[in-house]
Amino acid sequence: MPSINHIHKFLSSELGGERIIRENGKKKYVKVPAYPIFKCVLPNCTCFYERKNTLGLKSICWVCNQEMEMKVYNLKETRPRHRDCRKGKGKNAIN
């Protein structure tokens, strides 16, 4: 399998939700808790990471398309972006 050497552009998603269990020959759908992940949205990349494992990885900012490092405040965002690219309230506010 060829290795992909590029910087990922992450998008937040969740995996899980339902699981199929067979009892007495019948299918039964059981709800299971979903766990949060980041997936890469670049073409020809199928990388999935748990959110906690992306801390410190290099990523591409969704606003300015520059390289950045994943920080703690990025783990809660759907589309990770630089701290300077975040919109805040008031003049020059950073959230």
14 is in which domain, residue-wise?
10-74
37 or 30, higher pLDDT: 37
73 or 30, higher pLDDT: 73
Look up the pTM and report it.
Answer: 0.69
Q: Is residue 95 part of a domain?
A: no
Q: Is residue 4 part of a domain?
A: no
Q: Is residue 5 part of a domain?
A: no
**Secondary structure class of 7 (helix, strand, coil):** coil
- The Cα 12–Cα 77 span in angstroms is 7
Q: Is residue 89 part of a domain?
A: no
Q: Residue 73: which of 41, 5, 88 has the closest Cα?
A: 88
Q: Is residue 50 part of a domain?
A: yes
Question: Structurally, how many domains does the chain consist of?
Answer: 1
What tokens were used for 84? 């300077």
Q: What is the pLDDT of residue 1?
A: 41
- The Cα 12–Cα 25 span in angstroms is 36
Q: What is the pLDDT of residue 2?
A: 47
- The Cα 34–Cα 59 span in angstroms is 24
Q: Is residue 66 part of a domain?
A: yes
Sign of CA dihedral 4, 6, 9, 10: positive
- Mean of the pLDDT values across residues 59-79? 91
Q: What is the pLDDT of residue 70?
A: 92
